[in-house]
Amino acid sequence: MWARILQKGKVHAAMNIVTKPLLQDSAVALGLFDGVHLGHRKVLAAAAACKAQGLLPCVFTFDTEGFPRKHGKPFAYLYPQKHKLRLLETCGIEAVCAPDFVRMQEMDGKTFCREILCTLLCAKKTFCGRDFRFGRGAAWGFSDLQEFGAEMGFSVHEIRPEYYFDGEKVSSTKVRAALRDGFPTTAAALLGSPYTITGMVCHGKALGRTIAFPTINQPFGKGQLVPRHGVYLSRVRTPGGVFWGVTNVGIKPTVSEERIPLAETHLLDFAGDLYGAECSTELLDFLRPERKFEDLAALQEAIAADCLAARRLSAFHHLI
């Protein structure tokens, strides 16, 4: 059964994407891991630590780009699957099972444990929060996992939540709220690193060049969360180095009627062409809301002021 539901195609070059039974026993972190925030990292660290015991650190998750709803509500994912895999790798994970959710949604909890955890992943230890749900309709929970584990030969370990300074549990929901409200510093504190827009630089209308502020354009994926529309101090990692940037997240109301959100960044002290390059844009501080200007001259004046504000604010951050 498992062979029919494993996702094909989206493979991260340095990550072992599991498509056939593993040849060694594993320790499996269980969860969606959208954003790979500090709470997630506790679960991942527990699995990664089992490498010293001869177990392969693994993750069972879903492709967040194809995850339609969560708890009955539309789901806006934080990071594309490629970026999520990269983060999982930095946490010490060496193999990932990330099936397509739609193909797997009718599997019952016991079949999941038998076919996926035991047969496919050779799990000897599993790690998750007590609120972990699995199986058709999320009808099975932590105690069921313990029962199946005792029957099938894998142990189940609860990882306690991570709490933010306000006493609330760190969660992807809290990260989304911070980004939607324009608080990238709060999001970074929850994630353990700045919220990052990743992807290939695409061609725009090249209007920025005509007003002396050339930009790189990075679109958001379908279904991806879009932070509060506005202008941010950013740090951009390019193939040629790291640069401060001024990023506008939004729909460019002064020059466009398409209303398709994207991140448009002017790199400070940079000259060159990044079309087609893979870049990472970290949102560090919110400067001002997006607004429509009366003409290009007013837009140019505002961008110049944004660049000046960004240079001043960059003194509170490190470039690398």
Lowest mean pLDDT among 73-77, 132-136, 236-240: 73-77
| Concatenated DSSP letters of 132-184 | --BSGGG-B-HHHHHHHHHHHT-EEEE-PPPB-TTSPBP-HHHHHHHHHTT-H
Residue 246 predicted with pLDDT over 90: yes
Predicted local distance difference test score (pLDDT) of residue 1:
47
Predicted local distance difference test score (pLDDT) of residue 209:
54
Burial 138-149 (b: 16+ CB within 10 A, else e): eebebebbbebb
Given pLDDT bands bounded at 50, 70 and 90, which one contains residue 12? very low
Better pLDDT: 70 or 136? 136
By three-state DSSP, how is residue 115 classified? helix
Burial 113-135 (b: 16+ CB within 10 A, else e): bbbbbbebbbbbbbbbbeebbbb
**CATH code linked to domain 2-158:** 3.40.50.620
Lowest mean pLDDT among 14-18, 22-26, 49-53, 77-81: 14-18
Better pLDDT: 16 or 159? 159
Residue count of the chain: 320
Predicted local distance difference test score (pLDDT) of residue 243:
96
**What would the pLDDT profile of 36-79 be if each residue is shown by its tens digit?**
999 999 999 999 999 999 999 999 999 888 777 666 677 899 99
Better pLDDT: 200 or 191? 191
Taking residues 200-209, report their average pLDDT.
66
Given pLDDT bands bounded at 50, 70 and 90, which one contains residue 260? confident
The CA distance from 244 to 310, in Å, is 8
Given pLDDT bands bounded at 50, 70 and 90, which one contains residue 319? confident
Predicted local distance difference test score (pLDDT) of residue 15:
75
Predicted local distance difference test score (pLDDT) of residue 318:
84
Residue 103 is inside which H or E element, if any? helix 101-104
Given pLDDT bands bounded at 50, 70 and 90, which one contains residue 5? very low
* Proportion of the chain above pLDDT 90, given as a percent: 70
Residue 172 predicted with pLDDT over 60: yes
The CA distance from 59 to 80, in Å, is 16
Pairing of the two strands 195-200 and 216-219: unpaired
Predicted local distance difference test score (pLDDT) of residue 33:
97
Lowest mean pLDDT among 3-7, 66-70, 197-201: 3-7
The CA distance from 100 to 68, in Å, is 11
Better pLDDT: 252 or 21? 21
Cα dist from 312 to 56, 127, 234, 281, 319, whole Å: 46, 44, 13, 19, 13
CB 126 within 8 A of CB 26: no
Predicted local distance difference test score (pLDDT) of residue 7:
43
Q: What residue spans define the domains of the chain?
A: 2-158, 193-316
- The residue type at 220: F
End-to-end CA distance of the chain: 46
Taking residues 264-284, report their average pLDDT.
93
Tokens of 207: 């209007």
Say yes or no: domain 193-316 is CATH 2.40.30.30: yes
* Proportion of the chain above pLDDT 70, given as a percent: 89
Predicted local distance difference test score (pLDDT) of residue 74:
76
